[in-house]
Chains A and B, each alone.
Chain A
Amino acid sequence: DQQVKQNSPSLSVQEGRISILNCDYTNSMFDYFLWYKKYPAEGPTFLISISSIKDKNEDGRFTVFLNKSAKHLSLHIVPSQPGDSAVYFCAAWMEYGNKLVFGAGTILRVKS
């Protein structure tokens, strides 16, 4: 049972434009969310996080939005750069949980 879902396997965006990566979750006990970026043959790298008590968190070109009522979050990258091309994973902690639950990932390709 996939509790964290990234329904778009891939996304292609022109350099300089906005990239929007989406993530849905099913368990209302999730209370902290993170995004990781992963290049081939490397480990995931932490990007940005958001607590369930907030609806937005911004760090440079990266902004994460959380809609608790819809159980939906999104990662916005503006402006997108070719170096952003990677797999992006959404992940969630359950309140009192011991593990970070990951989505299946979305491949982002930024074309120059």
Chain B
Amino acid sequence: NAGVMQNPRHLVRRRGQEARLRCSPMKGHSHVYWYRQLPEEGLKFMVYLQKENIIDESGMPKERFSAEFPKEGPSILRIQQVVRGDSAAYFCASSDREGSGNTIYFGEGSWLTVV
């Protein structure tokens, strides 16, 4: 499967725990984007990363959320001390270049449920 791979597909966490979502981009892609879809809402941009660099994190909540895309391995979206409002679908996308004129390809998503 050469597509964007996300895991876990479903994750249940208790309030106060940490959630780690992983994303492996498509082969040959070095640009990764994270989006969140809250219930009954559209896709909201969170962060854009290239290898070892956060390029744009304007959509990330200021606290508890962090993202990384190391030189080796998948991109990680980390949510510390989760709250019920973090329950959402988190989608990762990747592309082979940056900026406009670009098509980004999405993974199947990770569904986080906070109980």
Chain A residues within 8 Å of B, Cβ to Cβ: 31-32, 34, 36, 41-46, 49, 51, 89, 91, 93-105
Contacts and interface: CB of A to CB of B under 8 A. Distances in A.
Contacts of B107: 43
Contacts of A31: 100-101
Nearest to B103: A46
B109 interface: yes
30 contacts: A31-B101, A32-B100, A32-B102, A34-B103, A41-B111, A42-B108, A42-B109, A43-B91, A43-B108, A44-B91, A45-B106, A46-B103, A46-B105, A89-B43, A91-B43, A93-B99, A93-B100, A93-B101, A96-B99, A96-B100, A98-B48, A99-B45, A99-B58, A100-B45, A100-B104, A101-B45, A102-B35, A102-B44, A104-B41, A104-B42
Nearest to A90: B42
| SS class, residues of chain A in contact with chain B | strand
Contacts, number: 65
B55 A98 contact: yes
A75 B91 CA distance: 23
